[in-house]
Every structure is written in C-alpha cells, then in structure tokens.
A and B are shown apart, each in its own frame.
Chain A
C-alpha cells in the first residue's frame, strides 16, 4: 500500500458531481471483471459494466449501483465518469424486481426479435440495483 498517501475518488455524472472524497479502496465491475483499486495503482482506463460499486472509506463502506460509464485510474486518484449511478436510497426495490422479472422472461422466451444484448444489460442493471439494497 502506498505510504499514507491520499487517494481521491471522484464520481461525475452528466448533471452532477456524485461523489468526491478520500477513500481507501474502490471496488466495481468492469468489462474485464470485478476489480478492486488500491492507492498506487498503475494508470489505467477501464470500461464499467453494471454492478455494485463499493467505496471503502476510512470508517465505513458505501455502496451504489453503477450502471454505465468508464473510469480513469491514476496512482493518487480515480475518476469514474458514470452515465448512470444511484445511491441505495434512490432505488425503488419493487421496480427493480419487476424489471428483473421482465428481463428474465424476455431472455427465457427467446424469439428472433428479442434484442438479447439489451435484455441482458437490463437484467444486469436490475440485479445490480437489488444487490445494492441488500
């Protein structure tokens, strides 16, 4: 671990700065798999996949549902450009459940017209929302 260096996380969405602060570790889901980023990471840009974002602050761990965007990782800071991101209290559990069922139905009753990629993203998004609430 980097010697007591500050590690700054900034999450920016198109219409607000979602989060800004000092963190110990950040975990989220990328196209290449789950990653956890600690201070002193090599510079890297990754693409976000729908999943749970865990922000490890000094005292507590915060969670949010991160759906789309990408992230720029530098040794002393990490910037997430999120197209869609939500805190747990912004999520409607019933709606997320309903969305999950819908997406699952669409995937199981495959017809040629089904847009599988879209249904899969919808499912991933709904699952991310539900997991954040747990």
Chain B
C-alpha cells in the first residue's frame, strides 16, 4: 500500500488538474455561447444562397460548365477545418480520420488546405501534402478570409492543379452532438429536392443563367466555407466543454477514491503504531 504522503501528493496534484479543467470548461462554455450566436447569424445567408444556387441548377439542367464537372486532374483539394489548440476530446482526430480513413483517397492524391494547427500537424505526419497553412483564420473567422481562400482555390482549380474540392469540418448539430462532415464544394453538388415554391415561379436570370452561375458559384463556395468555419468554431468549443466536463468529473472521482485510500492508510498506520506501543508496554511490564 502506498504511503500516506504519496497518496496526499497524488491527490493534491489531481486537485490542481481539476481546477484547470474546471476553468477551461467555464471558458469554453462562454466561447460556445458566442460562437453559437455567430453560427446562427450565418445560417439565413447560407440557406438563401443554397436555395438560389439550387434553383439555378435545376433550371439550367445538365449543361457543360467547368464548375459542374470534375477537372482532369486526379488530385483532390481538401479544406480541413480543425482547431489550433487541443484538449477538445476527439474533435480534431475525428476530422483527421475522415480524411485518412477515406476509402479511395491515397495521401499522394490529396492536397490539404489546413485551417487550424492540429489538423495540419496530424495530416503532415500522415504524409499528406500541405498546400496552405492558415492557423489564424479559425481564431475569429471573418467572411473575407473565406472569400480570399475561395479565390485561391478556384484559381488553382482553373489551372488544373486538382479536379475536385472538398471541405472537412465539424457540423454543430446541438451543444452535445457534433458531426464531422466531408462535403464536396466543386463540382457543385446539389440534391435536386425542389421545394414547392420553387416550382411555382419561373425565375429569370440577368445576366443569362450560365453567366450568373459563373458569378454566383464562387460566392456559394465562400459561403459554404464561411458557414463551415462558424460551425467548426461552435463545435470546437462544444467539444472542449464536454471533454473538460468529463475530465472534471473523472478527477472528482479519483479524488474521492484517493481520499478513501488516504483515510484507510492513516487508520492503518495508527493501528500499527498502537499495536507497537501496546506490544512495547507489555514487554516492559
């Protein structure tokens, strides 16, 4: 059995850790609230964008357009949104797994645009090519970041550097459920579920639909990336809050257990001392 002093030292060290995890939990709770509001503000824009792009696509049908077809290159670009800091449970590794465990993707076919340090580190270790590293973007996402990234992606896409563009981020379903998601940005994917309203009105486009597509799709992609960023920030803080909550209650449990062990050890040592004193006294008399 460990000595009383060892147990005491261990217990106070765990208490110290618990204080840290508790504080981190409170911090991420506050950050989560802020991030959630941000993500909620971003949704109307995104939904409207999605509907408009959908209505254009359902109108133009199957036309030949460079944004609607995979490029010639076999390579795929993936925008990977992770966090800069750890201690968020499986948040970062889930995103990384999405890419490393993808059935048809070999590391040499994938170019990574890393937003967030953790994803970059893990993927470069796994042998993926990191084309761009943007750790600052995730700290406080602004629309402009998403837009400039989109411009660069589209430029490289037009230059034939890769044939498809994907986005890997964590979807914030609610405070407890966050799903890692991989969506295709280009060629544009649209599940043709026409709402009733759409089929009633015949939309006209000025300029012509193909030209409009050319102009709207970059905006659509930046709105997807921006939406992904907002969701990811909310998910990150939600994941960290949960992880820290678990850590705090685990620490609590260990402290209880160690407290019991300490008391038992104390009792044992008192009993032993007593036995020794009595034995000593008996020997003298």
Residues in chain A within 8 A of chain B (CB atoms): 12-17, 30-32, 42-47, 68-70, 72, 74, 79, 81, 83
- A15's nearest neighbour on chain B, judged by CB, is B41
Q: Is the CB of B45 within 8 A of A13?
A: yes
Residues from chain B with Cβ under 8 Å of A81 in the complex: 45, 48-49, 52, 219
Q: Is the CB of A47 within 8 A of B216?
A: yes
Q: Is the CB of B143 within 8 A of A14?
A: yes
- Encode B232-260 as 1/0 by CB contact (under 8 A) with A: 00000000000000000000000000000
Residues from chain B with Cβ under 8 Å of A44 in the complex: 203-206
Chain B nearest CB from A35 CB (Å) reads 9
Residues from chain A with Cβ under 8 Å of B48 in the complex: 12, 72, 79, 81
Residues from chain A with Cβ under 8 Å of B201 in the complex: 43, 74
Q: Assess whether B265 is interfacial by the CB under 8 Å rule.
A: no
- A69's nearest neighbour on chain B, judged by CB, is B219
- B201's nearest neighbour on chain A, judged by CB, is A43
Q: Is the CB of B215 within 8 A of A70?
A: yes
- Encode B215-236 as 1/0 by CB contact (under 8 A) with A: 1100100110010000000000
Q: Is the CB of A14 within 8 A of B215?
A: no
- B202's nearest neighbour on chain A, judged by CB, is A43
**Given A81-B45, A83-B143, 12 new contacts (CB under 8 A):** A12-B45, A14-B42, A32-B206, A32-B207, A44-B203, A44-B205, A70-B216, A72-B52, A74-B201, A81-B49, A81-B219, A83-B219
Residues from chain B with Cβ under 8 Å of A45 in the complex: 52, 55-56, 203-206, 212
